[in-house]
């Protein structure tokens, strides 16, 4: 926002919390075109009306936890105009998928949330029969592959949706205890700009 050389034409901040929207309004300065929307970001993005033949933009999805729905990602992909950065909430999702619990025992509320994040029940593929427990007469399922499994399923879905516009390279963001918090992912908007957009994104990811 402080860049005056070839700045963006407009800035749109979408925040559901009213108090945070009040804080965001403090950004309105320097006569820049800044729009603050007190709304759920999923609703806003799924109903965003622009002339996508003329508009291009950069979108940063920064959820507080697990709010970004797959239906929103699908809508963004259809616009073919927004270079999109996604903070995938690895840690929050891992807490919803306990390693020592079978998928059928996960609460219905969490199952619904996981289905909305992944767009289907593909997350269930993280669970398989524990071979050690089956030796003793039980066939208890256990979550396999750890954090990487959570990410790989989501990345595979992004690759199917965005095709060549998805950058397979990503960056894991960790806390002070070296535990994964988010995975930073990138998808290109305009198919005609895949090469330059990916090179810029790779440079940003490398420099984080």
Q: Is-contact 167 187, C-beta < 8 A?
A: yes
HSE of 43, CA atoms in CB hemisphere, 13 A:
6
Can you give the pLDDT at residue 102? 66
CA atoms of 183 and 165, how far apart (whole Å): 18
What number of other Cβ atoms are within 10 A of residue 117's Cβ? Answer: 22
Could you read off the pLDDT of 168-180 as tens digits, one per residue? 999 999 999 999 9
Gap between the terminal Cα atoms of the chain: 19
If residue 149 lies in a helix (H) or strand (E), which one and from where to where? helix 146-162
CA atoms of 121 and 158, how far apart (whole Å): 15
Which among 156, 164, 171 has a CA at the least distance from the CA of 203? 171
Confidence of residue 144 (pLDDT cuts 50, 70, 90): low
State if pTM tops 0.85: yes
Q: Parallel, antiparallel, or unpaired: how do β-strands 34-37 and 57-61 relate?
A: unpaired
CA atoms of 88 and 172, how far apart (whole Å): 10
Which among 136, 134, 111 has a CA at the least distance from the CA of 123? 111
Could you read off the pLDDT of 70-100 as tens digits, one per residue? 999 999 999 999 999 999 999 999 988 877 6
Q: Tokens at residue 74, please? A: 């699908």
């Amino acid at each position: 926002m402080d860049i005056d050389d070839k700045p963006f034409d407009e800035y749109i901040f979408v925040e559901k919390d009213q108090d945070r929207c009040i804080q965001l309004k403090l950004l309105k300065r320097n006569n820049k075109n800044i729009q603050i929307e007190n709304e759920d970001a999923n609703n806003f993005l799924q109903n965003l009306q622009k002339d996508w033949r003329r508009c291009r933009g950069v979108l940063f999805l920064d959820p507080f936890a697990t709010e970004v729905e797959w239906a929103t990602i699908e809508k963004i992909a259809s616009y073919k105009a927004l270079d999109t950065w996604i903070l995938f909430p690895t840690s929050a999702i891992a807490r919803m998928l306990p390693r020592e619990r079978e998928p059928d025992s996960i609460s219905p509320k969490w199952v619904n949330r996981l289905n909305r994040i992944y767009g289907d029940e593909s997350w269930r593929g993280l669970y398989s029969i524990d071979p050690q427990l089956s030796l003793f007469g039980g066939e208890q399922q256990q979550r396999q592959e750890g954090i990487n499994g959570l990410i790989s399923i989501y990345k595979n879905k992004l690759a199917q949706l965005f095709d060549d516009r998805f950058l397979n390279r990503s960056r894991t963001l960790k806390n002070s205890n070296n535990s994964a918090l988010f995975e930073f992912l990138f998808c290109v908007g305009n198919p005609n700009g895949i090469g330059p957009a990916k090179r810029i994104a790779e440079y940003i990811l490398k420099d984080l």
